[in-house]
Amino acid sequence: MKRNLLSVAMLAGVIGMLATGGIAAPPSFTGKSTSPSSIKWHNDLKAAHKQAAAEGKPILVVFGAEWCGYCKKLESQTLNTPEMSRYINENFVPVHLDLDKEKKIGSILEVNSLPCTVVLSPDADLLGRINGYQTPGPYQKNLATARQLYRPAQTIVPAEAIVR
C-alpha cells in the first residue's frame, strides 16, 4: 500500500514535469562520443515514458552531473561496456539526466547522492535504486533484480471466449 501511494505521488510529479515540456538529458558526462554499441539514451523523459509503455519495458534513469567523478567512472567503466550497453538497450528504456539541470525530478525521485540509478515501471512504480558507483557485475545483477519486479499487465481472456 505504501509503495502504491509513493508510486502514485512519483507518477503525478513526473507527469507534471512532463506536461511542462520535454526534459533534456545530456548524452554523456564523460564528454566522449558515443559508439554504435553504446546505450541509446533518451533526451526526453516524456518520449521515454511513451516508449516504455508501448514496449512494456521499465525505465532506467541514470542521474549524474558534470562535476561528479564517480558518475564519469560509472559511465566509462560500467555503462559503456558492450555487454552492459546491450543488456540495457534490450531490457530498459534508458534516460540520462544531469541532476544539476533536473533538480525537480531528482527531488521527486529522492535522489540524494550521485551517481544514482532509478528503475521505474512504465506506470512509475519504483522497481529499484542503485546509489553510487558499481562495477558491471554487481550493477547488472541489481538491474536484473529490479527488472524481475516488473510484470507487464497481461490481457486475461475468459475461457468461454476461446474458440475451439
Q: State residue 43's pLDDT score.
A: 77
Q: State residue 114's pLDDT score.
A: 98
Q: State residue 143's pLDDT score.
A: 97
Q: What is the grid cell recorded at 95?
A: 534516460
Q: What is d(CA 134, CA 137) in angstroms, rounded to the nearest whole number?
A: 8
Q: Which residues does the chain have with pLDDT short of 70? A: 1-37, 152-164
Set out the domains of the chain in order of their start, with CATH numbers: 2-161 (3.40.30.10)
pTM above 0.85, yes or no: no
Q: What is the grid cell recorded at 3?
A: 509503495
Q: What is d(CA 64, CA 56) in angstroms, rounded to the nearest whole number?
A: 26
**Count, residues in the chain:** 164
Q: State residue 44's pLDDT score.
A: 77
Helical packing angle, 136-149 and 82-91, nearest 10°: 10
Which residues touch 102 (CB under 8 Å, ≥6 apart)? 23, 25, 63
Q: What is the grid cell recorded at 157?
A: 481472456
Q: State residue 103's pLDDT score.
A: 94
- List helix spans (H) across the chain: 2-19, 45-55, 69-73, 82-91, 103-108, 136-149
Q: What is the grid cell recorded at 47?
A: 518520449
> What DSSP state is assigned to residue 81?
S
Q: State residue 14's pLDDT score.
A: 53
> What DSSP state is assigned to residue 42?
B
Q: State residue 160's pLDDT score.
A: 57
